[in-house]
Chains A and B, each alone.
Chain A
Amino acid sequence: MVVGAVQPITVRGLTKHYGNHQAVRGIDLDVHKGEVFALLGPNGAGKTTTVEILEGIRNRSAGDVQVLGSDPAQDRRSWRARIGVVPQSTGVYLDLTVGEVIGHFAAFYPAPLPVAQVLDMVGLTEQRKKQTVALSGGQQRRLDVAVGVIGDPELIFLDEPTTGLDPVARREAWDLVRYFADRGKTTVLTTHYLEEAEALAQRAAIIVDGRVVESGAMHELGGRADTPTTVSFLRSPALDGRELPPLPGSSAVETHGASVSVLTPTPCAVIRALLRWAETAGTTELPELRVHQPTLEEVYLDLIRRNRQTASTGSTS
């Protein structure tokens, strides 16, 4: 099982510059077999450049890149047969029907999935005989996905696969990603939708300004696992002026008028203590009680903001 032991993607010190513009400034990535790995970051951060280098359609300036055990720049056909790509821009297949397009691409692969099965997976069975130009934007995007996976790839690159899809079609696309993940395939997902990354990916890297500023398991991204949870409530008149009980854990308390926020690594223990405290004051309710964990979006926005500040105060720009 030497083949199985090879990590699908290993990137060390990847750089890419266009003239004087440094698009990718030394990226390291490790994508493990069977996982969905998300690449996140603002527009122009270098995500697509990185993905295109991994797909073997863009040359790199420097660095080591191994994708399925090969250098993508070699562009070997046997290697191409093992990867599937859904590019960012929607392809236009002039004068052909949906079924013809998928059948056409199937002819290039050694062991393609059945055309009917792929049509069904992307929900285009009814459009099989339709000219591709007559499809809606979302349907065209699903055709792109179908063309990308028809070869039954071991490694799939999805570059913003659900942009332009309605919520229902997006959920269907997610099911498709999970279908391949369940079969042990590896997926690299580039997306703007953080809830999409959260729903699908096990690990992620956040790229800002050509660098990986954060990478790891989704629930640990940006120190999320260590960031304290906020428990907040309003002092009702019954609680007014009463001193807070001793709160377990290393909790910090902030008060703004009637509003109380407790930052704590142990929110359940804090709530138990607060409820007991309220009961002794003769009330059973804490108005507007909220438990808030930082969302991926908050972590992400915070990371982007911090890195932009560093970049603008740094000497490089």
Chain B
Amino acid sequence: MTATRSAERTAAAAVPGGQARLPGLWRAGAARSSVELKAFFRNKQSLVFTLMFPVLLLLIFGSIFSGTVKGTQTDVKQVFMAGIIAAGVMSTAFSGLAISIALERDSGMIRRIGLTPMPKSAYFAGKLVRVVVTTVLETVLLIGIAVVLFHLPMPSTGQRWLTLGWDLGLGTVACALAAIAYTALIPNGRSAAAVVTPVFMALQFISGVFFPFNELPRWMQSTAALFPVKWMAQGFRSVFLPDSFTVVEPAGHWELSRIALVLAVWAVAGGILAAMTFRWKSPKGQTS
């Protein structure tokens, strides 16, 4: 048994570079994904803050809000429920991801796996699986609760389902890549939540999640328009609200192509920044 193993190993070493026998992206990515998901679902902090926080906000504000948005027949609650989905995406794809990377960097985990022959892309594949699984779960939870408890109507046409799909997909990618880039600003694991959460909260408030976007001050609207949450929320409104609601939208229509464009630009810019700032070798403190 031992003899066979070592014979095999000698044979492997004889292959120039031995590359053929190295576990590739698929196997290493599967190992990373499994660890990512275990870590997410076992960690109370990520479960409560990342996954349950938007659900909690939905339950509380869904029970508080009443009446219709000025100038429309649409329930304020429905506008909020469409918006909270965007907040949910940002929570799992941005906050959750940024905090997890900051903690891994601080604990030396990123440096440690950089010392293995793991394909570097496998780390990001694992993060992708984590973000996709948690974001889909978050979205299903939010839409499920909104539909069951607060009578949000399901999307009425195939077109609207399609919009839900691409808005969710593009928004998730944009938030996730921005999160990887944003971790460059997080000095250590302990301050991660403090550096990430204010951005998450502020963007929710100025992006028309809690308050109808058209009722916000002009400067706030233009600031929010620079970030993805406002556009994601607008896209989700186009999925769940009647087309008559567009009278209070900034452009007078849903601006679907602009939403796609802004989210795509964020994804590309976030990806470039992430690639420029992500460090495998970043030393943990200055050692001898």
Chain A residues at the B interface, C-beta cutoff of 8 Å: 3, 18, 23, 43-49, 52, 55, 57-59, 76-78, 80-82, 85, 87-96, 100, 104-105, 107-111, 147, 151-152
With A45-B288, A48-B288 as contacts: A95 and B39 at CB distance below 8 Å: yes
Task: Give chain B residues whose Cβ lies under 8 Å from the Cβ of A105.
Answer: 113, 116
Q: Are B31 and A81 in contact (CB under 8 A)?
A: no
Query: Smallest Cβ distance from A142 to chain B, in angstroms?
Result: 15
Q: Are B43 and A95 in contact (CB under 8 A)?
A: yes
Of all chain A residues, the one with the shortest Cβ separation from B285 is A89
In the bound assembly, the distance between CA atoms of A52 and B288 in angstroms comes to: 10
> Which B106-142 residues have C-beta < 8 A from chain A?
107-109, 111-119
From A18, A58, A111, B12 is in contact (CB under 8 Å) with A111
In the bound assembly, the distance between CA atoms of A87 and B280 in angstroms comes to: 14
In the bound assembly, the distance between CA atoms of A103 and B17 in angstroms comes to: 24
Task: Give chain B residues whose Cβ lies under 8 Å from the Cβ of A80.
Answer: 115-117
Q: Are A48 and B287 in contact (CB under 8 A)?
A: yes
In the bound assembly, the distance between CA atoms of A297 and B38 in angstroms comes to: 48
In the bound assembly, the distance between CA atoms of A85 and B111 in angstroms comes to: 11
Q: Are B118 and A108 in contact (CB under 8 A)?
A: yes
Of all chain A residues, the one with the shortest Cβ separation from B107 is A92
In the bound assembly, the distance between CA atoms of A96 and B113 in angstroms comes to: 15
Could you pull out 17 A-B pairs where Cβ atoms are within 8 angstroms?
Answer: A48-B287, A48-B288, A49-B287, A55-B115, A59-B281, A85-B115, A89-B284, A91-B109, A94-B103, A94-B104, A94-B107, A95-B38, A104-B31, A105-B113, A107-B23, A110-B23, A111-B5
Task: Give chain A residues whose Cβ lies under 8 Å from the Cβ of B39.
Answer: 94-96
In the bound assembly, the distance between CA atoms of A18 and B39 in angstroms comes to: 36
Query: Smallest Cβ distance from B279 to chain A, in angstroms?
Result: 10
With A81-B117, A104-B35 as contacts: A94 and B43 at CB distance below 8 Å: yes
Q: Tell whether B27 is near chain A: CB-to-CB under 8 Å.
A: yes
From B108, B119, B283, A77 is in contact (CB under 8 Å) with B119
Q: Tell whether B19 is near chain A: CB-to-CB under 8 Å.
A: yes
Return the 8 tightest CB-CB contacts between A and B, nearest first: A107-B31, A92-B107, A80-B117, A81-B117, A110-B21, A95-B42, A108-B118, A44-B288
**Contact bitstring B270-288, A, C-beta under 8 A = 1, else 0:** 0000000000110110111
Q: Are B35 and A100 in contact (CB under 8 A)?
A: yes
Q: Tell whether B13 is near chain A: CB-to-CB under 8 Å.
A: yes
With A91-B108, A91-B109 as contacts: A110 and B116 at CB distance below 8 Å: no
| Interface SS of chain B | helix
In the bound assembly, the distance between CA atoms of A80 and B39 in angstroms comes to: 26
From A47, A78, A91, A104, B117 is in contact (CB under 8 Å) with A78
Q: Tell whether B9 is near chain A: CB-to-CB under 8 Å.
A: yes
Q: Tell whether B215 is near chain A: CB-to-CB under 8 Å.
A: no
Task: Give chain A residues whose Cβ lies under 8 Å from the Cβ of B283.
Answer: 52, 58
Of all chain B residues, the one with the shortest Cβ separation from A24 is B288
From A81, A93, A100, B18 is in contact (CB under 8 Å) with A81
Query: Smallest Cβ distance from A99 to chain B, in angstroms?
Result: 12
In the bound assembly, the distance between CA atoms of A91 and B42 in angstroms comes to: 19
In the bound assembly, the distance between CA atoms of A49 and B287 in angstroms comes to: 7
Query: Smallest Cβ distance from A200 to chain B, in angstroms?
Result: 21
Task: Give chain B residues whose Cβ lies under 8 Å from the Cβ of A92.
Answer: 107-109
Q: Are B38 and A100 in contact (CB under 8 A)?
A: yes
Task: Give chain A residues whose Cβ lies under 8 Å from the Cβ of B118.
Answer: 77, 108
Task: Give chain A residues whose Cβ lies under 8 Å from the Cβ of B284.
Answer: 89
From A49, A82, A109, A111, B8 is in contact (CB under 8 Å) with A111
Q: Are A108 and B288 in contact (CB under 8 A)?
A: no
Query: Smallest Cβ distance from B81 to chain A, in angstroms?
Result: 32
Of all chain B residues, the one with the shortest Cβ separation from A79 is B117
